[in-house]
Amino acid sequence: MMFPGIALLFLFNYMPMIGLQIAFRDFQLGSTMWTSPWVGFQNFEFLSNPEFWKVVRNTIAIAFWKFFFGFPAPIVLALLLNEIRVRAFKRLVQSVSYLPHFVSWIIIAYMLEALLSPYDGVVNRLIGVFGGEPIFFLGDTDWFRPIVVISAIWKEIGWNSIIYLAAISTLNPHLYEAAYIDGAGKWAQLVHITLPGLVPTISILLILGIPGLLNAGFDQIYPLMNPANLPVSDVLDTYILRNGLQQGYYSMATAIGFLSSAIGMLLVLMTNYWIRKMNGESLW
């Protein structure tokens, strides 16, 4: 039963790694990665390009704030949902919070453009009612990052809370009964039972989430990009797309992806070691 999954993992995750050699070759259309000449680290000259480091800063800034606010958000939602005692209302809240996960980022981009349009958007109409001037939210470099972070949290908070709700459901209910008898209120039960019970789950997801600091979310950002917000919206994924597929610098684009993957692996190793030292929980 495991063979199909292992086969797919091998074909789509390990076999493509053969192509990483393009990062060290002068690959051109019409040739193959086996016949292209070796050029060593010549394709890594982008490290001396100021534009590349500007893109890196944009990527880290967006990814950091998405992680900083997005990682604890589903934990908070799961804790709040766990306290709802009216089952019908709880199911309604769960369904409403899960729904955005199944909506494409393309559709959400159109929704954001409609809501935030400086001409006839609902938000700017409300601003006009209170006497304010219209704001071009998606073209304002100060507003672009908050919009990306908020929309990312809104889309995934419900779906990401599922695993925390599952972890809470495995906690021994007798612990809560004993704490209640000893006089512990809801807050004390949360601090001394629920949160400690979630530590293993939080630790594993933290280890898996740290490499995402180099991934700002191409499928979310690309539909929202425009010339006005390009100074803050150009990230590594869009930089690779522009240089690799649009301009034909395949070797350089592969080198950038290779370096990002290597840094991501290093972050996983460091985070795994750090968390294992702190509480004994780790991936290995």
Residue 37 in contact with residue 25, Cβ under 8 Å?
A: yes
Task: Count the residues in the chain.
Answer: 284
Q: Answer yes or no: is pLDDT of 22 > 80.
A: yes
Residue 136 in contact with residue 117, Cβ under 8 Å?
A: no
Measured CA to CA, the distance from residue 124 to residue 87 in angstroms comes to 38
Given this model, what pLDDT does residue 78 score?
Answer: 93
Q: Answer yes or no: is pLDDT of 281 > 80.
A: no
Given this model, what pLDDT does residue 235 score?
Answer: 92
CA distances from 47 to 43, 75, 257, 277 (A): 9, 38, 13, 34
Q: Answer yes or no: is pLDDT of 5 > 90.
A: yes
Query: 215 φ, ψ to 5°?
Result: -130, 105
**pLDDT, mean of residues 241-249:** 85
Measured CA to CA, the distance from residue 208 to residue 91 in angstroms comes to 28
**Structure token digits, residue 113:** 């453009």
Q: How high does pLDDT run on average in the chain?
A: 90
- For the stretch 141-178, pLDDT in tens is 899 999 999 999 999 999 999 999 999 999 998 998 99
**Structure token digits, residue 181:** 């008898």
**Domain map (residue ranges) of the chain:** 58-279
- Residue 75: which pLDDT band, with cuts at 50, 70 and 90? very high
CA distances from 246 to 27, 225, 233 (A): 15, 16, 18
Query: How big is the chain by its Cα radius of gyration, in Å?
Result: 23
**Structure token digits, residue 72:** 């604890």
Q: Answer yes or no: is pLDDT of 97 > 80.
A: yes
Q: Answer yes or no: is pLDDT of 70 > 90.
A: yes
- Give the other-Cβ count within 10 Å of 224's Cβ: 18
Beta bridge partners of 38: 25
At 34 the three-state DSSP class reads: coil
Given this model, what pLDDT does residue 149 score?
Answer: 94
Given this model, what pLDDT does residue 74 score?
Answer: 95
| pTM reported for the whole predicted model | 0.87
Q: Answer yes or no: is pLDDT of 244 > 90.
A: no
In the chain, the percentage of residues whose pLDDT exceeds 90 is 44
Taking domain 58-279, whether its CATH number is 3.30.450.20 is answered by: no
Query: 25 φ, ψ to 5°?
Result: -125, 160
Given this model, what pLDDT does residue 158 score?
Answer: 93
Q: Quick one: residue 159, left, alpha or beta (phi over 0 = left, psi -120 to 50 = alpha)?
A: alpha
Given this model, what pLDDT does residue 284 score?
Answer: 77
Beta bridge partners of 25: 38
- For the stretch 181-240, pLDDT in tens is 988 888 999 999 999 999 989 988 988 888 888 888 889 999 999 889 989 999 999 998
Residue 214 in contact with residue 263, Cβ under 8 Å?
A: yes
Given this model, what pLDDT does residue 168 score?
Answer: 92
Q: Quick one: residue 206, left, alpha or beta (phi over 0 = left, psi -120 to 50 = alpha)?
A: alpha
